Chains A and B, each alone.
Chain A
Amino acid sequence: MYIPKKHEPVRIGFYICHCGVNIASMVDVKEVAKYVGTLPNVVVSRDYKYMCSDPGQEMIQQDIIENRLNRVVVAACSPMLHEQTFRKATEKAGINPFFFQMVNIREHDAWVHTDRLEATRKAMALARAAIQRVPLHKPLEVKKVAVHPNVLIVGGGIAGIHAALVLANAGKRVYLVERDPTIGGHMAKFDKTFPTLDCAMCVLSPKMAAVGSHPNITLWTYSEVAKVDGYVGNYKVVVRRKPRYVLEDLCTGCQECVEACVYKEPKFRDEFNLGLGKRKPIRLPFPQAIPPVTLIDPETCIELKSGKCKKTCLEACGDRKAIDFKQQEELREILVGTIIVATGYQIFDAKRTPYYGYGVYPNVYNALEVERLINASGPTNGELVMRNGQVPKKVAVIHCVGSRDENTNRWCSRVCCLYSLKLAHLIHERTNAEIVNFYIDMRTPGKGMEEFYNRLSEEGMMLVRGKVADVYPDPTDGTTGRLIVQAEDTLMSRILKIPVDMVVLSVGLEPHPDSDKIRRLFNMSCSSEGWFLERHPKLAPVSTFTDGIFLAGCCQGPKDIPDSVAQAGAAAAECFSLIDKGHIEQEPNTAFVVEKECSGCKSCIPLCPYTAISLLEDKKKAYINEALCKGCGTCVASCPSGSIVQNLFEDAEVFSEIEGLLAPVPV
């Protein structure tokens, strides 16, 4: 095998790819190859239909050996796709892979232009820029960084639960951090799930229990991530554990304390039931809560507010001694290699669409409230009784509340059509009420979903195509709270004013209001709507732009339970891939400080988005942690003394590239 010697003259091989017709239809590849062949140092210049194919790669390797090439330039697609392919090919032929340079003439040229001559000229300029920079390249080495095998999962909804179990069952240690006092998320509030109509808790609670008892899972509920430092493979995370005033290790979940509370009757707004029911200051959120540990609300507990309670709960707990009014917030520090963010969503606040009367008329409910009303563990024990004590005889279900609307949320929330149909079916089943669904477009993608829609249509459910414009009290009604739902039936071009007893608002899904805070914590990106951004919408749907941090569930965008679970499995697999390999390979395009030129002014330190720079106190010089550096170049450009250099982007390389780009082309 040929190995290039030091100080040997530069010999470049240039290859331009047709990419079928993707490039060749807009760029005259033969002309470009001919032109590049005339440039200094170029020994070989060829065009080929598919450079990324095996014969394409073999052609490069053959040339390296036969023509003693020591630099390779390929003009083809984005380096995002095939940079690694060609680096490997050159390396196999015995050249340092960083003597290879890729030129993007597809995404940056052929795909975005309509004038073939101009596109060809641009390809020539881009190619020459690479030809002029590549002689200055230095051999670089890929560094390896070890990956810590523990995983942090943030969010204990169905996505977080599933990811935790997948990893833990394979023997990985998982920290599952949940903000609420129990895991289960939104799914724990649902009655049944579409399209199979199986009971949500029946399928969820075994998984919740498995999390609670799994030896490999450390479950921290009522806790939040406070700080994240470090980098892929080595994240240092601080978790804030809020006091629940009941010690998890000692509480048996018997709930005798709840029974014994000085408040004989539940009196306070029950958060889990969205305020439809009441709770005591000490309570278990719901019967299947995991961990099965009660907690005390400091806002309503007499002892915590004034210190003047009889503390009957403490008495009831007795020797178990699980109640601790002096419990303090705790900060726990953990080390993990990878993180899965599964923080979920919140429902749209229907008060933002005031014409539906939510919060004004008591018989207007949002869909999640209805889930609780028909749930056997809900505030009415599963009987659909409205706030006025009546069972509705006629119910309107309004789709798309807050969704697909420029005034509120622009996106389709994807699950509402189906959950609306499900609720309509369940309400009818429980009450025999007549149900009217008002929809704009019926969206039922996914396995079994259209069949479900078909089945409910057969049941005779009334489906009106039209967005409801107005909900107001029936003026002819006395005190029953009957409402008029007004909408155009767009298929009939007629305005309908339908009197109903109950209105269900199918509210959309939206990001948590603090999603920006979470985004910053984990150094992720958000879409303009506030959903966390995946690295690639098709090919990296659970990765983020920060290595080692993955997404699962609705924090990435609205989705149903099967998709959340599938994504959670995918995120877990991404973690495995890093953990089992044991190390990650670090791109060597990192920056370093030339110490003798650094004045120690520290101006680069706050600019680094990856907190990779620190000051060496003894030398008063800046130091860049290579493992943290992502090669963004911010510090390089900002350094007043020009003492920061970036591999593969050294000044001479960049200037030479610019000169090549700006020189005139022959056509």
Chain B
Amino acid sequence: MVAMLEPELCEKGATIETVLDTPEGKRILTCIQCGMCAGTCPYGEYMDYPPRRIINMLRRGFIEEVFKSDSMLRCVACYACMSKCPRGIRLSDVLLPIVKEQTLINQPEIPAELQKTLQNTLRYGNPMGESSRKRVNWATANGTKVPIMAEIKRPVDVLWFVECYTAYYQRGQDNSRAVAKLFNALGIDFAILGNEEKCAGDCGQLTWESGLFETLTDYNMEIFKKYKFNRIVTGDAHAFNAFRIRYPMYGFNYPVEHTTGLFARCLPQLKPKLTKKLNYTVTYHDACCLGRRAGLYDEPRDLLLAIPGIKLVEMTHNRVNSICCGGGGGGMWLDTFFKQKGMERLSERRVKEAIATGADVIAVSCPYEIYRFEDALKVIPHDKPIIVRDVVELLAEALGD
């Protein structure tokens, strides 16, 4: 297995002028131009400047030419180049976000869909432009009762950071209700921030709207300080990524876990409760931020295999070699742009592989994937029905009543 990337933090403040002087920049100088990054990039064939060329343009002093191209907007921050780079260059962590920021600055116009999303996130604290006062609605509707920090007024063990898609969108809420059910089944002492929560900003960071990201970070950090809790758990792979590798540079030092990791750790207590048999053949799609970036390959699979009746099959590309759903790095809001450029949606490429496995269910662990794959399945023909479910949804289903 490819060595898991060390959970190294990102440093604040490296710019395109200074990056080669940092320890990460020294790694960039060791690039052997092997083309592994371009070859593994899911959109490599659509890039004028894949990472390999960016590095050489940077080393030779022609980087300005790269910024004039919109090539970098095709990066979906999937960590494939970084995790396979034979020189261990932290492309997706360090170099590519800087190049992306400069690309956005140098473009005559930003793709409208992306621009709208960034504006929404700044104004409303979520990319879809929903009212911040409705964030908690899922937790109070239909008889669900989820404790809210501001109301219970006591310290809790787990602060559950719900995030946007899992709070506002119907299918995301299914995920959140499942997590609440599992927390209760395991007797975990938890609460959410409710309407006080704002987007963690991981995708904003990766599209490198750095001002926006810092605004969100500052805001969330202040809210965290208001309450007492032992650790943060989130069901959103991107929020998990932001807390893990980027928030620490703003002083964040809470222990953080993704629900998949937490439930895998609780498997001895959880497994006896998984009594309902689910006769599904399941294929698991590795989320980039969990798999390649954090090495959580076995945890979601262990959870799935703990459910009675589930048979696990693998897609051609799995684990370190998994193909991104196309939603990262702002890709979630660039589908129109990608279409204009004649690029295949990665979610479509991915569901084709899932369909080929003959599975009944595509299991996921990142809230973007539910939408992306369900959308893709609408256009990719398949004879046998196939559905998309988050791992936690399947676990909650197997809990019975």
Contact = CB atoms under 8 A, between A and B. Distances in A.
A477 B86 CA distance: 31
A527 interface: no
> Looking at B87, B319, B321, which has the most chain A CB atoms within 10 Å of its CB?
B321
Given A354-B319, A475-B356, A487 B35 contact: yes
Nearest to B319: A354
A330 interface: no
A354 B320 contact: yes
Interface of B: 1-3, 32-36, 38-40, 44-45, 50, 52-53, 83-88, 316-317, 319-321, 352, 356
A407 B1 CA distance: 9
Contact of A469 (B1, B3, B32, B84): B84
A407 B316 contact: no
Interface in A463-494: 465-470, 472-473, 475, 486-490, 493-494
Interface in A481-525: 486-490, 493-495
A354 B35 contact: no
A470 B39 CA distance: 7
A493 to B, nearest CB: 6
B32 A441 contact: yes
A487 B44 CA distance: 10
A646 B86 CA distance: 50
Contact of A468 (B1, B3, B39, B83): B39
A620 interface: no
Interface of A: 352-355, 400, 404-408, 440-441, 465-470, 472-473, 475, 486-490, 493-495
B45 A466 contact: no
Given A407-B86, A470-B39, A355 B321 contact: yes
B1 A470 contact: no
Contacts of B1: 352, 354
Nearest to B27: A406
Given A406-B85, A470-B317, 16 more contacts: A352-B2, A355-B40, A404-B32, A407-B3, A465-B35, A467-B34, A468-B39, A469-B38, A475-B352, A488-B35, A488-B36, A490-B34, A490-B38, A490-B52, A493-B38, A495-B45
A355 B84 contact: yes
Ordered nearest first, which 6 A-B pairs have the shortest CB separation? A469-B39, A488-B35, A406-B88, A469-B40, A467-B34, A488-B38
A354 B2 contact: yes
12 contacts: A354-B319, A355-B320, A355-B321, A400-B86, A405-B86, A407-B83, A407-B88, A441-B32, A469-B38, A487-B35, A488-B35, A488-B36
Nearest to A496: B39
Contacts of A490: 33-35, 38, 52
Nearest to B40: A469
Contacts of B88: 406-407
A100 B3 CA distance: 54
> Looking at A353, A407, A489, which has the most chain B CB atoms within 10 Å of its CB?
A407
A468 B36 CA distance: 6
> Looking at A354, A467, A487, which has the most chain B CB atoms within 10 Å of its CB?
A467
Given A354-B319, A488-B52, A495-B44, A404 B86 contact: yes
Given A355-B84, A355-B320, A406-B88, A467 B3 contact: no
Contacts of B39: 466-470, 486-488, 495
B319 A488 contact: no
> Looking at B3, B34, B83, B85, which has the most chain A CB atoms within 10 Å of its CB?
B34
Contacts of B45: 494-495
Contact of B321 (A441, A468, A470, A495): A470
B35 A406 contact: no
Contacts of A475: 352, 356
